[in-house]
Structure 1
Amino acid sequence: MPSRSSARLAALTVAAVCSAASAVVLASPAHADSVRVHDIQGTTRISPFAGQKVTDVPGIVTATRTYGSSKGFWIQDAAPDDNPATSEGVFVFTSSTPKVAVGDSVTVTGTVSEYVPGGTSSGNQSVTEITKPAITTVSTGNAVPAPAVVDRHSVPGAYAPAGDTAAAGSVNGLPLDPSKYALDYYESLEGMNVQVADARVVTATDPYSELWVTVKPWEHRNRRGGTVYGSYDSQNTGRLQIQSLGSTAGFPKANVGDTLEGTTTGPLDFNQFGGYTLVASELGTLKSGGLQRETTRKQSDRELAVATYNVENLDPSDATFDKHASSIVHNLQSPDIVSLEEIQDDNGAKDDGTVGAGATVNKLIDAIVAAGGPKYDWRSIDPVNDQDGGEPGGNIRQVFLFNPERVSFVDRAGGDSTTAVGVTKVHGKAQLTASPGRIDPANAAWAHSRKPLAGEFAFRGKTVFVIANHLNSKGGDQALTSQYQPPVRSSEVQRHAQATAVNAFVKDILAVQKNADVIALGDMNDFEFSGTAEILEGDGALWSAIKSLPKSERYTYDYQGNQQVLDQILISPAIRRGCDFEYDSVHVNAEFNDQISDHDPQVLRFRP
């Protein structure tokens, strides 16, 4: 779930869009005179002048946006009112390069519009704008209004009010309370010149030249400098996205734990790919926090090391094979079994019916050998073309790598893309009817999504069942900054159905052999505290082993300033009961601007 740049947002056609949940009622008359910016912004998220023409609105130009199709400038009233709920800044959409300069005193005549980035179906909040403007320059070279300081003292501890049930859960029509709710506070500054100082980076610079900082240094901080997302009720209110109004060529390449020293100043915008965003006309100086990639310990002879690693749409044309191999060999210490997610077919996103992934996997295996690792063997099942979601044409799937010098794969014929694997009892022990095999592939839960891959392994005479998963993504969920509070997590419906199927299969194994060693692992696309995790765990059939770590260390992914769990390794009671296991979330990717995947790999070591 990567974010996007202001340039991508700017490519969207700006239009006057009313809120989906609160219809904008035009006041009478439909033309307003002697209106100030704070009148336009009003005390809710929707302007009381939405849809109306306003005349000679005064303001000082604080910044201009000259790129993309969202060109325009921000003005701020030099004579603010005394109401903290009303913003004194607003964006003026010109559609072409604005002919004003920072410090100009102008008056603007135009139509007030509520623009919803991503469209009303996204559930996003709207941005109040003046469109179709006629601009008069009164004077030049004026001082820009001093920025509002955003810091740990100004941002409230509560994140958002509950939405109005009469408006489908929207907060749009609720009076803003910037002293109580963080989202209300940020909304009260929409379009205004704001400033953060000495802000710690909590999401690394992405390919679109944007990063996230926190203005609350101790809010759910972990030892590596990030901000951990630990429950639906403990939002991190100090997070703020930073972009640049200038050239992206000089945008800092920051890692988590770095600091933007000094002041970062610019207008507070709202966009589709992160919500409230400080679009900086002045950027602080980057100071490195010295973050280093982690290395896990080597498993002992008697320990089985099992890992999961989302390699992010890996195909033979990628330039990351050597780096992935180095991570597996050196940072993960060559686990005995590696569940890979997002292995693409042999020609990547080219959609020509190719489904085999032998070239992709063998190129990685060869790179691992070249990096000093073992000669892994592998097992997988090719999907039906274009039926498993992901990048169109890529046919992503899960793949088992295993070190044949340490562990054996138990091959049983019969597994294919459409045949369901089952469980039988042989000599009092559980066996898979096919190995590798797919779990219930005809189940509607797996429509346009990856089907779990089950395999049977043998280690030092003991059988271990491993289920590789890549559950439905969070795409389509409403953003944390949505106008709907709490946001709707629509993707959970399919993911919960998938978790139910995986849990049922694990219970089939345990019904035959109560003490079976079963591991379900992979990119679960959901948190360790989520409903998805609860369903996977069921009535004790599995347990998410990342919960053996302190809460501050539970993360595998970094999104919009929140370090969170998406990748999990769940274990059966026989593994957990022995307490002879060790879990490690190995941080090699998610916190770094030069990441080769957006996920951190996970390793479990135990004695079967």
Structure 2
Amino acid sequence: MPAVSSSSLPGKTRSTAVATLVATALAAGLLAGASGASAAELRIHDIQGSTRISPLVGQRVTDVSGIVTGVRTYGSSRGFWIQAPDSETDADPATSEGVFVFTSSTPTVAVGDAVKVSGTVTEFVPGGTSSGNQSLTEISRPTVTVVSSGNALPAPAVLDAGSVPSAYAPDGDPAVGGSINGLALRPEEYALDRYESLEGMNVRVDDARVVGATDPFSELWVTVKPREHANRRGGTVYGSYDSQNTGRIQIQQLTPISQQPFPRANVGDLLSGTTEGPLDFNQFGGYTLTARTVGTVVDGGLEREVARGKHRGELAIATYNVENLDPTDPQTKFDALAAAVVENLSSPDIVALEEIQDNNGAKNDGTVAAGETLRRFTAAIAAAGGPAYEWRSIDPQNNKDGGEPGGNIRQVFLFNPERVSFTDRAGGNATTATGVTGEQGRAALTFSPGRVDPANAAWENSRKPLAGEFVFRGRTVFVIANHFGSKGGDEGLTSHHQPPVRSSETKRVRQARSVNTFVKSILDTQADAKVVVLGDINDFEFSATTEALTEGGVLYPAVKSLPPKERYSYVFQGNSQVLDQILTSPSIEDFSYDSVHINAEFADQNSDHDPQLLRFRP
């Protein structure tokens, strides 16, 4: 799930979002006067108001005074932040004393300037109103007068464990679709209200632990609550929709990377010292400290995990999302992924791969075969000292399985023929469903490899499950590799809808029911069949998707065998969370499960997912 920097948002998106939000606010009756203040007396807190929507949105304001606390000179969201001098603040903790001035072109002011700004009050929704994001109060189309320079900045508001409430957000108002936009801010009760009450203001964090590694867009996440759902590797675990991690905040810097490198940090590192700057709100992270000053990274010593080797008689099965692997990738990526299979996963007997692309990657020319991708990968594994893996897969129809256009991602089985055998049953293809038949009281697939229920509308523009029949020491194991629909389209945790709308979940639940039905057909034929369902499920162990997968007790999420604080395979916006899973049928009673943390917590990643490993004696 790659992010995009908020500074890349196009101007068209900005203007459209502003117009839509103004219309919505007018219809909802959220616009009012500025508490009786005349135009000559307007202060920043009058513009911000005590809800998320300015009471002056759409109105012209004149000579609003403030001290410049930050200047953004690049991207399409160019502008600067101003904050009221101490003499002009009010006593209401719900009303912010800072605001962003959107100039569109490079600002000509400097930090420390005292200015007067005239312009139009707007509410900009990063990503557009359909994103569900909260809006950012701005003054747009400004006229700016510099009154003096070199002024001291307003003292920063400190974000720490004591100042950010433990409750995340109020429930949205059902009368307006579950939105919290019109609710009075209660910054002493709710974390989102606390952040909103500081929107545009100078804020500071000190000695904060990194919970989301530096990404390609020069962003990282810290927590201001060191004890909040912390795990042994330094992350913050996301374990429930009802228990949000309120201390997370994204860090960017105001200075362009060309002028000042952004620090590279892993989860568990310390952002030591002071990180200070205006509090922004952007599309891909919500509340973001846009730092004038960034602390120093202190290495926390995080190391990549190495799974133990197989015990005698154990079958080892892994799942690994290799993030759009194709022959156009550098050999270094193949080698790094191969080394992970051999060294970190200890060469599993079976590896289910997700996101194997076709032989020319994203080139959209009708190619669907992936033999060259798999030859390079298995050769790299052998060169790293691993087994000579064979593979089985089914080529998809061109551009029918989602993912990067032209890439034709699919699931693939790798297996070590010296340890396991694959039962080939010919006839499987992209559109024909494999079924289950009985052979002397034992279940068997009609096609192996075969696709599960590919004509089901649940799999439209999504990867179809791949089923295979393996034999280990004379015992059959059915393996079903999956890559469920992504969370794209879901609202972020900082949405103005609370709880946020998870629109993508509907499709994954339907996919889960399809797989659940197929597993039931195996178990109805052979009650003690060994079935392993695995892959990038793109959903949490506590989600409705997992509930649908396990319905009727046909599967058990093996990740639940781990302590709650060890349950994660992915880090998103500072939340260590489960996306990749392995589930087992009831006859697999004793197993060892490991989420092998080698990617998600690191700035230097070979994939954005951590592989999962199951070991058991069939």
TM-score range, shorter chain: over 0.9
SS in 1 for 2:271: strand
Matched ranges for 1:315-464 at <5 A: 315-319=326-330, 320-464=333-477
**Which residue of structure 2 lines up, in the alignment, with residue 264 of structure 1?**
275
Change (3 A) 1:27 1:161: closer
**Which residue of structure 2 lines up, in the alignment, with residue 561 of structure 1?**
574
**Which residue of structure 2 lines up, in the alignment, with residue 308 of structure 1?**
319
1:563 and 1:69 mapped to 2: Cα distance? 31
Does 1:146 pair with 2:155?
A: yes
1:17 and 1:475 mapped to 2: Cα distance? 25
Which string of whole-angstrom CA distances, capped at 9 and with x for unpartnered residues, describes residues 154-201 of structure 1? 000000100000111000000000000000000000000000000000
Across the aligned residues of Structure 1 and Structure 2, the Cα RMSD in angstroms comes to 1.4
2:92 and 2:221 mapped to 1: Cα distance? 29
**Which residue of structure 1 lines up, in the alignment, with residue 539 of structure 2?**
526
2:245 and 2:24 mapped to 1: Cα distance? 26
2:453 and 2:120 mapped to 1: Cα distance? 56
1:172 and 1:207 mapped to 2: Cα distance? 32
1:273 and 1:31 mapped to 2: Cα distance? 37
CA-CA distance at 1:31 after TM superposition = 8.9
1:18 and 1:190 mapped to 2: Cα distance? 21
CA-CA distance at 1:28 after TM superposition = 6.7
- Does the Cα contact within 8 Å between 1:31 and 1:52 map onto a contact in 2? no
1:13 and 1:31 mapped to 2: Cα distance? 32
Identity of aligned residues (%): 69
1:369 and 1:524 mapped to 2: Cα distance? 29
**Which residue of structure 1 lines up, in the alignment, with residue 125 of structure 2?**
116
- Does the Cα contact within 8 Å between 1:34 and 1:55 map onto a contact in 2? no
2:301 aligned residue (261, 267, 290): 290
- Does the Cα contact within 8 Å between 1:18 and 1:114 map onto a contact in 2? no
Q: TM-score, normalised by structure 1?
A: 0.98
- Does the Cα contact within 8 Å between 1:376 and 1:402 map onto a contact in 2? yes
Which string of whole-angstrom CA distances, capped at 9 and with x for unpartnered residues, describes residues 36-74 of structure 1? 000000000000000000011010011100001211110
**Which residue of structure 2 lines up, in the alignment, with residue 574 of structure 1?**
587
- Does the Cα contact within 8 Å between 2:324 and 2:409 map onto a contact in 1? yes
1:28 and 1:39 mapped to 2: Cα distance? 9
**Which residue of structure 2 lines up, in the alignment, with residue 468 of structure 1?**
481
- Residue 47 of structure 2 aligns with an amino acid whose one-letter code is I
Structure 2 residues without counterparts, runs of 5 or longer: none
- Residue 607 of structure 1 aligns with an amino acid whose one-letter code is R
- Does the Cα contact within 8 Å between 2:13 and 2:128 map onto a contact in 1? no
- Residue 92 of structure 1 aligns with an amino acid whose one-letter code is V
SS in 1 for 2:587: helix
SS in 2 for 1:430: strand
**Which residue of structure 2 lines up, in the alignment, with residue 4 of structure 1?**
4
**Which residue of structure 1 lines up, in the alignment, with residue 504 of structure 2?**
491
Which string of whole-angstrom CA distances, capped at 9 and with x for unpartnered residues, describes residues 505-562 of structure 1? 0000000000000000000000001110011011110000000000000000000010
Does 1:504 pair with 2:539?
A: no
SS in 2 for 1:575: coil
Q: TM-score, normalised by structure 2?
A: 0.96
1:72 and 1:509 mapped to 2: Cα distance? 61
1:540 and 1:12 mapped to 2: Cα distance? 50
Change (3 A) 1:264 1:120: same
Does 1:586 pair with 2:593?
A: no
Matched ranges for 1:222-261 at <5 A: 222-248=231-257, 249-261=260-272
- Residue 600 of structure 2 aligns with an amino acid whose one-letter code is A
2:97 aligned residue (83, 88, 91): 88
Matched ranges for 1:8-27 at <5 A: 8-9=8-9, 13-15=13-15, 16-19=18-21, 22-23=25-26, 27=32
2:239 and 2:454 mapped to 1: Cα distance? 33
SS in 2 for 1:573: coil
1:333 and 1:189 mapped to 2: Cα distance? 49
- Does the Cα contact within 8 Å between 1:341 and 1:399 map onto a contact in 2? yes
1:21 and 1:526 mapped to 2: Cα distance? 32
- Residue 7 of structure 1 aligns with an amino acid whose one-letter code is S
- Residue 165 of structure 1 aligns with an amino acid whose one-letter code is P
1:183 and 1:18 mapped to 2: Cα distance? 23
2:12 and 2:617 mapped to 1: Cα distance? 54
SS in 2 for 1:481: coil
The aligned length equals 605
CA-CA distance at 1:136 after TM superposition = 1.1
2:59 and 2:24 mapped to 1: Cα distance? 20
- Does the Cα contact within 8 Å between 1:344 and 1:360 map onto a contact in 2? yes
